[in-house]
Structure formats: structure tokens, C-alpha cells
Structure 1
Amino acid sequence: MASPKIFDELKHIALSTDQQQDFESLISQVHLASSPAQLPGDLIAIIDAIFAHSIGIVATRSLCGIFVQKLKTVESNDTKVTVGQHALGVFQAQASSFEEQTAQVRELMATAYEDEEDNLSAAKVLAGIPLESSQRKVANEDKVKFWIRITRNYLEVDDTTLAEQYLNKAKNLIYIVSDRDLNLHFKLCQARIQDARRDFLAAAQGYHDISFLPVIAEEERLHTLSMAIKCAVLTPAGPLRSRMLGRLYKDERTSTLDEYPILEKMFLDRLLAPNEVAKFAEGLQPHQLARTSDGSTVLAKAVVEHNLRGASRLYSNIGFDSLGLLLGLDGDKAEETTARMIEQGRLVGRIDQVERYIWFEGGEATGEKGSGRSEGVVGKELRRWDSNVQGLAEEVENVTSELQLRYPDFVATHLVV
């Protein structure tokens, strides 16, 4: 409902011979004639009056543009949203004649929603902006900008499904975009989606690459480097994770971060203690601590697999129950975890279910499914033993020869060759 003063002004305009000029004057001065409480109703009355008078499509479109610019200067986000919603209804009733004004209103409403941290509403209102239309030409770079903005808003509310849909749209055009900031936001959104979907290896690689970009501040680069370490730690143990840990460990900047101790232990295949894991978990995000289908957390599963990998470096063989005690599991669960890693090519070894023993092999797994199975372990152990005995015998022979050269009399008297 319009205030009395605005109501009188609109009545005067209805009888005016230059309605366009009078509307322009009223729009520019409305903030002086209306109180903050009255402003939403007055602006709504003005936009309704513009379309109620037959002043021609060109004049109406021009006035709508001025109206939208005026709405952008309003300080109250609630007013922007309230008036914007009404204006959208008015514009949409006019077919496609006001697509530019519709896009501008949606954009300023999205900004208002973002200021109020209502990211879901911001994403929805931005998604309604027409980007493909004969009435409105939108540059490819602007399309990418809108899609990435929508993606970021959906990520703020953890809706990775819709976020990925809009990021995939941007992916088809990002290669022709030269704007560095836009490319940065794209890479960051991509890493965040991979992180949220628990594709931790790809997320770690993405975060690490972003941490080298000079376009962001040093503090932000260290933050993304920290995220890279967290994702690398959460990655399932195996050769791919080992390479990622190696990249991060060799990065001199990681030594200044809180996550460095656990990074170092994992890279060197050292066992992790429960208190170290608990301290690391304090810095993780909720989705990184979510429980998997078997009831364990992503972190707990990653730590168990890492400690199993560490145990394979310490032992040639170990019983199910002893391994379970080391991993904090029962013997059967330890066997199941080992079997899965061997089957997936992330650990090399053999399981003797009759004797309830696990035999580990040296070297690095290839990561190919089924490649972790070790055949003929007993024969290989015997060959290794024979090699050790042969080496010892050769060393004894070398010592004897050296004694004969240096102390021939002693050898002739005390040693029988």
C-alpha cells in the first residue's frame, strides 16, 4: 500500500501529459518522500502504476531500467527482496519484453540473499536468469560467471548434486575464459565438490594446484595447502596416495602447518597413535567425519589402512589376532581389511586362513585390481633364506682370506682351512 504522498504523486502523473518524465522524477526522489517502512509499498505502487498507464513499450522499458537501478541503491535487503519478488511477477507477465530487467532484479535479489547468508534462495533466484534467449545476448564469460556463482551458493548449503550440475555447464566454456579470478573460482569449486563427494585424491590434487596460484593471498594459499593435506590423509592407502603424500611432503611450505606431523608419519609409513588421529580430526569438516556404510568414519578407515600398510613394512608375517590388536580391530576384521587391500592392488601379500597368518611382501603395490596377490610365498621365503645364508658364508670367507694375508702364521697355527 502506497503512502499518502506517493499516492497523490501517482494521481498527478495519471493526469500528466509527460508521464515518462514525471515517473523518472518520482523514482529518483522516492527515498526522500518515503520512510524506510513505507518504501517497499511505495516502490511496488510505482512499478504497478508504470504498467497500468499506456505509455508505450519503449518508455516502459526505460522506466523499468531506472526503477531497477534505484532498487539497487536501497540499503535494506528485505526491501530489495520484497520489491524484487513483486517486480519479477510484473515483468514475467509481459512475455519476453523485459528479460534484461528480470535478470538485473534477480541478480540484486541474489546479492541481498547472500548478504543475509540465505545461499539456497540466492542460488534458486540466480538459476531463473535467462541465459539463452533471442531477446538478450549473454557473453560466454558472463554465463560462466553466473554458473559458478550458483555453484558456490549450492556448495554453501552442501548441495553437491545441484552444484555439480551447474559446474558441469561451466566446464564446457571455462577453457575460453581468460579471467584469472573466474578460473580460480572454477578450480576451487571443482576441488570442493570432489572433497564433498569423497573423491579425496582428486580433491587433494586440486587444492594443491590452487595453493601455487599467485592470484590469491598467501594466507589463502596456505589454507588450500592445508585442505590438500587433509584430503590426502583421508585418501585410501595405496600407491596413488603415496605419490600424493610425496608431493606434499616435498613442498617446503607444509612444515609450517599443523597437519605436518601426520603428513610426515604417513609419508614415512609410520604407525599412527590414537591421540594423533584425534587431534587431526579436530580440524576436519563434518562431511569428512561422516560415517560410511560399515559404520566407521572415513578418517578411521583411512587410518586403519595406513597402519596396516605400516605394519607390512615392519613384519614379514603376522597373525590375524596380533594384527587386529595393532589396528584396534578384531582378528576377523583385520583379515577382511587386508584381503580387500590385497584384492584392490593396494597391498602385496598372501593370507593363510588355515594358520591364520598374513605374509607381507616387500615393494610397492601397482594399484591394479588383483595385483596384490602374492603366489608361492613359501618358496620365495626359502630363496630369501638361502640368499642370506650364502651372503653370510661369503662374508666369513672374506674374513678368512683377509686373516691369511695379514696374519699367515696365526692362521697356519690356529685355523684349519
Structure 2
Amino acid sequence: MASPKVSAALQKIATYEERGLGYEALLSQIQFTSNPAQLPRDLIAILDAIFADSLGIVATRSLAGLFVASLKTLKANEAKIEVGEHALGIFQSQAASYEEQNAHVRELMADAYEEDEDNLEAAKVLAGIPLDSSQRKVSNEDKVKFWIRITRNYLEVDDTTLAEQYLNKAKNLIYTVSDRDLNLHFKLCQARIQDARRNFLAAAQGYQDISFLPVIAEEERLHTLSMAIKCAVLAPAGPARSRALGRLYKDERAATLGEYGILEKMFLDRLLTPEEVAKFAEGLAEHQLAKTSDGSTVLAKAVVEHNLRGASRLYNNIGFDALGLLLGLDGDKAEETTARMIEQGRLVGRIDQVERIIWFEAREASGEKGSGRAEGVVGKELRRWDSNVQGLAEEVEKVTSELQLRYPDFVAANLTV
């Protein structure tokens, strides 16, 4: 219910011939006429009176703009949201005529929701803004700005599905936008979505690219570099991850970060201890510690695969049970993990299930599916023997040729067949 002053003013306006001017004067003075506690109800009463009166679309639209300006003066976020919801309900009845006012009210409500850290409601209210309409001209830059803002709000509540939908809309227009801040936010959202979807290699590359941008503060650049290292560590072991680790290890700034220790060990294929893994896990986000379909965490799986690659550098062959002891698994699980990595081309080796032995080859895996299968150990040893015999024969041939050059008479007398 409106305050007595505003109720009296509305009754007086009803007697005017130019009622539009009366509403305009009342809205321009409303923040002085009403006290802060009563202001939300007064604004609602004025808006209801304007739309109940037959003033014509032009006059009503102009007054709706003044109402939006008055809405901005509200200090309390709760009041903005309350009045804004009422206004949206009224505008909805003639949505095409009040698109501009509808958009402004939704932006004000989104600001209030964001300040109250209600990011889900902020995203929903922003999503209701019409961006493709013949009644309202919206530039590509403004469209991208809205979509990225919605994406960031959905990311705050870990809804990557809807976040990705709006980022994909922005992706179609981002190339037309020159604003460097918008481009930065787009890249950051892209990396965060890839991170949340466990596409860690792409996320690591995205975070590292952002860490080189001079438009952000040094502290933020180091933070994004730290995120890049975390994503690279969590990525599946293999040639692609080794390249990502190499890029990060060669970045001189990495040595100043707390994640450098585990980065160095992984890049050099050294085995990780449970204590090092536990310390690293303390700095991970909740989604990075989520459990996978087999019940293990993303980090645990990444560490097992890394230690398996490290073991392949230390041993030519190893039994299932011995490998399981090294990886903290049982023998059958160690065999299963090894077989999967070999099949996916992330490790080169051969499994002898009869003898329960895994044979490793020193060469680097290509990353192509099926390329990790090594030939039988007997064939490998024969090729190595043949290579050694060939090398010895070549060395003997070199010695004989040198003797013929330096001591032709001796060779003629002693080595003639």
C-alpha cells in the first residue's frame, strides 16, 4: 500500500487534464516525497496507476523510462528485486512495446542478485532480455557482453551446460568485437568450461595463453598460470600432456609457484609420493576432486597413470603384482590400467598374461589409438642382436679399410684370401 502522501498525489493527478505531466512530476520527486522504507511500495503504486490510466503508448513508454530511473535510486537490493519483478509482470502484457524498459529493469535486478551472490537468479533474469528484435537495436558487442555475463553467472553455480550454451552464442560473434576486456572474459570463460568438463589439456592451454596477456595484473597472470599447471597435472598421461607440461616447465614464472614441485617431477617422469599428491590436492577446486565412474578421483587417476609412465622409464619389464605395489593398486588393476594406456597409444609396451609380466619399450608413444602395442619380446631381442652384429661388422670393415690405406703391403701379405 502506498504512503499517504503518494496516495493523495495520485488522487490529485486523476483530476488533471494533462495527467502525464502529473505522473512525470511525481516520479521526478519521489525520492524526496517517500522515505526509503516506503519507496518500493510507492513506486509500485505509481506504476500501477500509470498503466491503469489511458495515456497512450508514447506517453506511457516515456513514464516507464522515468520509473526505471527512479528504480535505480533504491538502495536495498531486496527492494530493487521486489519492484523489478512487479514491473516485469506489467511490461509482459505489452512486451513488444516496452522492450527497452524491460531490459533496463532486468539489468538492475541482475546487479542486485549479483551483489547478493545469487548468481543463478542473476543469470535467469538476464536470459530474459530480448536481443534479437525489430523493436530494439542491439549491437554485436552488447550481445556478446550479455551472453558472457550470463555465462559467468552460470559458471559461479557450476552449471556448465547452460554456461556453454551462452558461450557458444558469443563464440559466433566474438570475432566482430574489438573490446579487449570482453575478449579476455570470453577466453577465461572458455578455459573455465573446459576445466569443468575435464578437458584439462585444452583448459591448461587456455589458462596459459591468458597468463601472457599484459592487460591483466601480474597477480592475476600468475593465478591463471597456476590454474594451467593444475589442469596439466590432472590431464591423462601421454604425449599430449608431456608437451603441455614441457611448455609450462619452460615458463620461467612457474618456478615461483607452489605447484612447481609436482610440475617438475611430472615433466621429468619421476614417481610421485602420496604426501606430494595430498599437498597438491589441497589447492584444487571441488570439481577437480570429483570422483570418476570407477570410484577414483580425477587426481588419483592422473597420478596412477603418471607413475605408470615413470615406471616404464625405470624398468624393462615388471610383474603385475610388483607394478601394483608401486602404483598403490592390486595386480589386476595395474594390468587393466596398463592395457588401457597401451591401447590408447599413451604407453608403448606388451603384456604377457601367462607369465603376468609387462614389457616396456623405451620409445615415446605417439598418442594414436593402437600404436602402443609392442611386438613380442623375442622378436625385439632378435632385432637388437641383429643390430649389434651389423654394427660390429661395420666397425671391422672400417678397421680393414684403414689398414689397407696405411699398410698396404702388410694387408697384401696377411689378409689376402
TM-score band, normalised by shorter chain: over 0.9
Find the counterpart in structure 2 of residue 299 from structure 1.
Answer: 299
Relative to structure 2, which stretch is displaced further, 287-296 or 27-36? 27-36
Write the mapping of 1:278-293 to structure 2, written as runs, cut at 5 A.
278-293=278-293
Question: Can you list the C-alpha shifts for 1:15-48, whole angstroms capped at 9, x where unaligned?
Answer: 1233222222211221222222211110000111
Q: What stretches of structure 1 of length at least 5 have no aligned partner? A: 396-417
> Letter of the aligned partner of 1:344 in structure 2?
Q
Relative to structure 2, which stretch is displaced further, 69-78 or 265-274? 69-78
Find the counterpart in structure 2 of residue 37 from structure 1.
Answer: 37
- Residues 317, 357 of structure 2: 8 Å contact kept: yes
Write the mapping of 1:11-410 to structure 2, written as runs, cut at 5 A.
11-384=11-384
Q: C-alpha separation between the residues in 2 aligned to 1:381 and 1:254?
A: 42
SS in 2 for 1:295: coil
- Taking only aligned residues, the RMSD between alpha carbons, in angstroms, comes to 1.8
Q: C-alpha separation between the residues in 2 aligned to 1:351 and 1:106?
A: 62
SS in 2 for 1:363: coil
Would the alpha carbon gap of residues 188 and 27 (structure 1) be closer, same or farther in structure 2, given more than 3 Å must change? same
Find the counterpart in structure 1 of residue 6 from structure 2.
Answer: 6
- Residues 31, 70 of structure 2: 8 Å contact kept: no
Relative to structure 2, which stretch is displaced further, 266-275 or 52-61? 52-61
Question: Can you list the C-alpha shifts for 1:357-391, whole angstroms capped at 9, x where unaligned?
Answer: 00000121000000000013223234436766998
Question: Can you list the C-alpha shifts for 1:201-260, whole angstroms capped at 9, x where unaligned?
Answer: 111111011111111111111111000000000000000000000000000000000000
Q: C-alpha separation between the residues in 2 aligned to 1:191 and 1:255?
A: 22
SS in 2 for 1:89: helix
Q: C-alpha separation between the residues in 2 aligned to 1:315 and 1:391?
A: 25
TM-score by structure 1 length? 0.92
SS in 1 for 2:223: helix
What is the CA-CA distance between 1:131 and the residue it aligns to? 0.7
Q: C-alpha separation between the residues in 2 aligned to 1:152 and 1:73?
A: 26
> Letter of the aligned partner of 2:89 in structure 1?
G
What is the CA-CA distance between 1:346 and the residue it aligns to? 0.1
Report how many residues are paired: 397
Moved over 3 A (4+): 382-395
TM-score by structure 2 length? 0.92
Aligned-pair identity (%): 82
Question: Can you list the C-alpha shifts for 1:80-116, whole angstroms capped at 9, x where unaligned?
Answer: 1000000011111124111100011011101110000
What is the CA-CA distance between 1:74 and the residue it aligns to? 1.4
Q: C-alpha separation between the residues in 2 aligned to 1:255 and 1:145?
A: 36
Q: What stretches of structure 2 of length at least 5 have no aligned partner? A: 396-417
Q: C-alpha separation between the residues in 1 aligned to 2:161 and 2:334?
A: 35
Q: C-alpha separation between the residues in 2 aligned to 1:375 and 1:348?
A: 10
What is the CA-CA distance between 1:57 and the residue it aligns to? 1.4
SS in 2 for 1:96: helix
